Amino acid sequence: DGGITQSPKYLFRKEGQNVTLSCEQNLNHDAMYWYRQDPGQGLRLIYYSQIVNDFQKGDIAEGYSVSREKKESFPLTVTSAQKNPTAFYLCASSIDRSTIYGYTFGSGTRLTVV
Protein backbone atom coordinates (compact mmCIF):
# COMPACT_ATOMS: atom_id res chain seq x y z
CA ASP A 1 0.00 0.00 0.00
CA GLY A 2 1.23 3.49 -0.82
CA GLY A 3 1.55 6.07 1.90
CA ILE A 4 3.70 8.31 4.04
CA THR A 5 5.68 6.95 6.95
CA GLN A 6 6.87 9.22 9.72
CA SER A 7 9.24 8.05 12.42
CA PRO A 8 9.61 7.99 15.28
CA LYS A 9 6.07 8.39 16.60
CA TYR A 10 7.37 9.93 19.84
CA LEU A 11 10.67 11.76 20.29
CA PHE A 12 12.26 13.35 23.31
CA ARG A 13 14.88 16.04 22.96
CA LYS A 14 17.22 17.40 25.54
CA GLU A 15 18.06 21.07 25.68
CA GLY A 16 20.69 22.03 23.10
CA GLN A 17 20.30 18.84 21.10
CA ASN A 18 19.55 18.48 17.41
CA VAL A 19 17.05 15.81 16.41
CA THR A 20 15.92 14.56 13.02
CA LEU A 21 12.40 13.50 12.11
CA SER A 22 12.03 11.08 9.25
CA CYS A 23 9.44 11.27 6.47
CA GLU A 24 9.32 8.72 3.66
CA GLN A 25 6.69 8.32 0.94
CA ASN A 26 6.17 5.65 -1.71
CA LEU A 27 3.42 7.49 -3.56
CA ASN A 28 5.78 8.87 -6.21
CA HIS A 29 4.68 12.37 -5.20
CA ASP A 30 6.83 15.29 -6.29
CA ALA A 31 6.00 17.70 -3.47
CA MET A 32 6.53 17.24 0.26
CA TYR A 33 5.78 19.46 3.24
CA TRP A 34 6.47 19.78 6.96
CA TYR A 35 3.90 21.30 9.31
CA ARG A 36 3.94 22.02 13.00
CA GLN A 37 0.81 21.78 15.14
CA ASP A 38 0.62 23.17 18.66
CA PRO A 39 -2.15 22.08 21.06
CA GLY A 40 -5.50 23.48 20.02
CA GLN A 41 -3.97 25.21 17.01
CA GLY A 42 -4.04 24.88 13.28
CA LEU A 43 -1.12 23.80 11.11
CA ARG A 44 1.81 26.06 10.33
CA LEU A 45 4.13 25.43 7.42
CA ILE A 46 7.81 24.94 8.26
CA TYR A 47 9.43 23.93 4.96
CA TYR A 48 8.31 22.54 1.64
CA SER A 49 9.91 20.94 -1.37
CA GLN A 50 8.29 20.81 -4.77
CA ILE A 51 11.06 18.88 -6.48
CA VAL A 52 14.14 16.87 -5.59
CA ASN A 53 17.17 18.94 -4.52
CA ASP A 54 15.06 22.03 -3.98
CA PHE A 55 13.17 23.32 -0.95
CA GLN A 56 11.76 26.59 0.38
CA LYS A 57 11.13 28.10 3.77
CA GLY A 58 7.58 28.20 5.02
CA ASP A 59 6.13 30.56 7.59
CA ILE A 60 8.10 29.33 10.63
CA ALA A 61 11.41 27.97 9.29
CA GLU A 62 13.69 29.45 11.94
CA GLY A 63 15.40 26.75 13.99
CA TYR A 64 14.64 24.01 11.45
CA SER A 65 16.49 22.55 8.48
CA VAL A 66 15.56 20.06 5.74
CA SER A 67 17.07 18.20 2.81
CA ARG A 68 15.54 16.59 -0.28
CA GLU A 69 18.20 14.38 -1.78
CA LYS A 70 15.73 11.69 -2.85
CA LYS A 71 12.20 12.01 -4.15
CA GLU A 72 10.79 9.73 -1.48
CA SER A 73 12.52 11.28 1.55
CA PHE A 74 12.20 14.68 3.26
CA PRO A 75 13.79 14.64 6.73
CA LEU A 76 13.35 17.54 9.13
CA THR A 77 16.04 18.50 11.63
CA VAL A 78 15.00 20.45 14.69
CA THR A 79 18.09 22.35 15.76
CA SER A 80 19.06 23.76 19.13
CA ALA A 81 18.17 27.18 17.73
CA GLN A 82 14.48 26.25 17.91
CA LYS A 83 13.67 27.42 21.40
CA ASN A 84 10.21 25.93 21.73
CA PRO A 85 10.17 22.70 19.72
CA THR A 86 7.56 20.79 21.71
CA ALA A 87 4.78 20.15 19.21
CA PHE A 88 3.18 17.62 16.89
CA TYR A 89 4.96 17.48 13.52
CA LEU A 90 3.16 16.38 10.38
CA CYS A 91 4.68 15.53 7.05
CA ALA A 92 2.55 15.65 3.92
CA SER A 93 2.94 15.05 0.22
CA SER A 94 1.06 15.95 -2.93
CA ILE A 95 1.23 14.55 -6.41
CA ASP A 96 2.75 17.74 -7.76
CA ARG A 97 3.41 21.35 -6.91
CA SER A 98 -0.12 22.44 -7.71
CA THR A 99 -1.47 20.34 -4.79
CA ILE A 100 -4.83 20.58 -6.50
CA TYR A 101 -5.98 17.19 -5.27
CA GLY A 102 -4.98 17.80 -1.68
CA TYR A 103 -2.40 16.36 0.62
CA THR A 104 -1.69 12.93 1.97
CA PHE A 105 -0.53 13.21 5.56
CA GLY A 106 1.76 10.99 7.58
CA SER A 107 0.78 9.82 11.06
CA GLY A 108 2.89 12.47 12.79
CA THR A 109 5.76 12.71 15.28
CA ARG A 110 5.19 14.10 18.74
CA LEU A 111 8.33 15.91 19.92
CA THR A 112 8.83 16.80 23.57
CA VAL A 113 11.68 18.70 25.16
CA VAL A 114 12.85 17.14 28.41
Partner 1 sequence: ELKVEQNPLFLSMQEGKNYTIYCNYSTTSDRLYWYRQDPGKSLESLFVLLSNGAVKQEGRLMASLDTKARLSTLHITAAVHDLSATYFCAELSSTSGTYKYIFGTGTRLKVLA
Is residue 21 within 8 A of residue 75, CB to CB? The reply is: yes
With contacts defined by CB under 8 A, name the span among 15-23, 33-41, 61-69, 75-83 that binds partner 1.
33-41
Q: Is 98 in the site for partner 1 (CB under 8 A)?
A: yes
Q: Which residue, 17 or 98, is less far from partner 1 as judged by CB? A: 98
**Rounded to whole angstroms, how far apart are CA atoms 90 and 106?**
6
Instruction: Compute the least distance from the CB of residue 105 to partner 1, in Å.
Output: 5
**Rounded to whole angstroms, how far apart are CA atoms 21 and 89?**
9
**Rounded to whole angstroms, how far apart are CA atoms 75 and 68?**
7
Q: Which of 42, 69, 83, 114 binds partner 1 (CB under 8 A)?
A: 42
Show the binding pattern over residues 53-72: x = contacts partner 1 (CB under 8 A), - = does not.
---x-x--------------
Is residue 93 within 8 A of residue 29, CB to CB? The reply is: yes
**Rounded to whole angstroms, how far apart are CA atoms 102 and 100?**
6
Q: Which of 13, 22, 30, 50 binds partner 1 (CB under 8 A)?
A: 50
In the complex, which residues of this chain contact partner 1 (CB under 8 A)?
Answer: 33, 35, 40-45, 48, 50, 56, 58, 90, 92, 97-108, 110
